Structure 1
Amino acid sequence: MPELPEMETYRRLLQERVVGRTITATLVQREKTINLDPAQFDQILVGNRITLVDRCAKHLLFHLESGHILLLHLMLGGFLYYGTVDDKLGRTAQVTLSFGQPILYFHGLRLGYLHLLTAGQLDERLDSLGPEPLDAAFTLSRFTELLEDKRGILKTTLVDQHWLSGIGNCYSDEICFDAQILPTRRIPELTQEEIKRLYFSMQKVLKEAIQYGGYMEPPLYRDDHLTGGFNDRCRVYDRGGEPCLRCGQPIIQSKLSSRKVFACINCQH
């Protein structure tokens, strides 16, 4: 599932390509993907101009000149492609937005959604999300404070979007590896030094992942050489059985509450 770095990569690349463009047509192949009747969806969007592409946690927000916002959550299996009918992917798109010749294709939205909301509806929808880990206000002190009342397991806490937004399966494991802490540790056991390491590893890993375009491999557009560049830089995620890049021992793959967990039990403690 796309996480904060993947959605931030999309935001930056789409900000350059669709802001200022007017939507000329829509096509809805799966009505459950949107929250309105397709005719009403089309009526509001066609002729509307995109003024800003923003991100909140794992969501992408397309702000429109009319004041409406398109809220996208890709969930499991969703991804985007921006191109023309000549270079489109050989995959069904649940929704497409045309900007004249260029088209933005929303693929794999069997679980994801693209909802058209007012500003008030958007605030209500996102109100329960936790703080952003890369927000300037999210300091080490704030992180330590948030952990004070937690009694659960580290990985389960890191992926809780109501506690901290944007981190999922991949980056929770990558952060724990960088901090040399097992993701299965219970939070009350963590020392102040370990909490400090976790915080700075979180900043480091997420920023590096954004720099290299996240781990999702499908390119956003033809000749896109950024998206997915972090996939080969993952230290533990999806590397079960491979040697640890730090100590050489095999990476262990396990499960925690139906989630995959990847860690080196030799150099993570």
Structure 2
Amino acid sequence: MPEWPEMEHYRTQLSSLLGGKRITGVVVNREGSINEPPEAFANALANRTILFVERRGKHLLFHLDDGNRLLLHLMLGGWLYYGTEAKKEDSRFQVIIRLFDGNSLYFGGLRLGYLHLVSAKSALEQMKQLGPEPFDQRLTLEAFRKLFSGKRGRLKTALTDQKFIAGIGNCYSDEICFEAKLHPARSVPDLDAAAIERLYAAMRKVLIEAKEAGGYMEHPLTENDNVTGGYNSRCLVYDRGGEPCIVCGHEIQHETLSSRKMFYCPQCQGTA
């Protein structure tokens, strides 16, 4: 599932590609991916201009010139493509937005994800449920400590709780824990001040590095995109179960925690 680095990478690229572009048409191949009847959805978007693209947690919000928003959550398997012609047949995409300049924005893999047309008020209400952004200026180290001071449960579960911190999921929770030298199943109340400080620094380091490398998504956004997915081969523990740790050589473990995949090095990260 795309997380903070992937969605921030998308936002950065789409902001320059879509800002000020007018929508000329919409193709809906899967009604379940949208929140209105296809004809009403298409009519509401026709001749609307995309002003800019915002990200909140794992969501993208396309701001329209009538004050409404397109709210996107890619969920598991979702991805985007922008260009004059997609490399796959149009029928393989759940939604396609045609633009005045001849390009289109293709939404693929929206079997679990969605693209909803919502009012500004509705978007704000839905986003209110999310926790602070990892790079919110208000989320200082001291605020981060206070956030964790009242948290219970396991570390990975806390990091992937979108109401606790927005944008971190399965992959980067494991990568952050590895960077911080903390077992992902560690009990949150057992973390001391030094561990919290390492975790804060690791969160910021891993997310920025992953975003700058293009995240781990394998689908390029445009025909000439050679950045997207650049972090996929740089994951140190995630999806590397049974392989040697690049730091100590110990075998990376793959377990399940609260129905989530969990990867860690028992030598570098200790025990839960």
Aligned counterparts of 1:51 and 1:89: Cα–Cα separation in 2: 28
Partner of 2:62 in structure 1? 62
Tell me, what secondary structure is at the counterpart of 2:134?
coil
Aligned counterparts of 1:199 and 1:186: Cα–Cα separation in 2: 16
Aligned residues: 268
Partner of 1:81 in structure 2? 81
Partner of 2:133 in structure 1? 132
Tell me, what secondary structure is at the counterpart of 1:9?
helix
| TM, length-normalised to structure 2 | 0.96
| TM, length-normalised to structure 1 | 0.98
Deviation at 1:233, TM superposition (A): 1.0
Deviation at 1:89, TM superposition (A): 2.5
Partner of 1:119 in structure 2? 120
Tell me, what secondary structure is at the counterpart of 1:221?
coil
**Residue type of the partner of 1:247?**
C
Structure 1 unmatched runs, 5+: none
User: Which runs of structure 2 are paired with 1:81-100 in the superposition (5 Å)?
Assistant: 81-85=81-85, 87-90=86-89, 92-100=92-100
Residue pair 1:131, 1:164 contacting (<8 A) in 2 also: yes
Partner of 1:168 in structure 2? 169
**Residue type of the partner of 1:162?**
K
Identity of matched residues, %: 54
Deviation at 1:188, TM superposition (A): 1.1
Residue pair 1:5, 1:214 contacting (<8 A) in 2 also: yes
1:130-183 deviation digits (Å, cap 9, x = unpaired): 000111111111111011111200000100001111000000000000001000
Structure 2 unmatched runs, 5+: none
Deviation at 1:257, TM superposition (A): 1.3
**Residue type of the partner of 2:87?**
K
Aligned counterparts of 1:208 and 1:138: Cα–Cα separation in 2: 19
Deviation at 1:83, TM superposition (A): 1.5
RMSD between aligned residues: 1.0
1:192-215 deviation digits (Å, cap 9, x = unpaired): 101100000001000111111111
User: Which runs of structure 2 are paired with 1:26-37 in the superposition (5 Å)?
Assistant: 26-37=26-37
Deviation at 1:236, TM superposition (A): 0.5
Aligned counterparts of 2:152 and 2:136: Cα–Cα separation in 1: 25
Aligned counterparts of 1:33 and 1:16: Cα–Cα separation in 2: 25
Aligned counterparts of 1:130 and 1:15: Cα–Cα separation in 2: 24
Residue pair 1:28, 1:38 contacting (<8 A) in 2 also: yes
Deviation at 1:55, TM superposition (A): 0.3
**Residue type of the partner of 1:136?**
Q
Aligned counterparts of 1:29 and 1:108: Cα–Cα separation in 2: 12
Deviation at 1:235, TM superposition (A): 0.6
Residue pair 1:81, 1:88 contacting (<8 A) in 2 also: no
Tell me, what secondary structure is at the counterpart of 1:267?
helix
Residue pair 1:133, 1:203 contacting (<8 A) in 2 also: yes
Deviation at 1:88, TM superposition (A): 2.8
Aligned counterparts of 1:124 and 1:190: Cα–Cα separation in 2: 33
User: Which runs of structure 2 are paired with 1:107-256 in the superposition (5 Å)?
Assistant: 107-256=108-257
1:82-133 deviation digits (Å, cap 9, x = unpaired): 1223x43357110000114211110010110000011101011111100001
**Residue type of the partner of 1:65?**
D
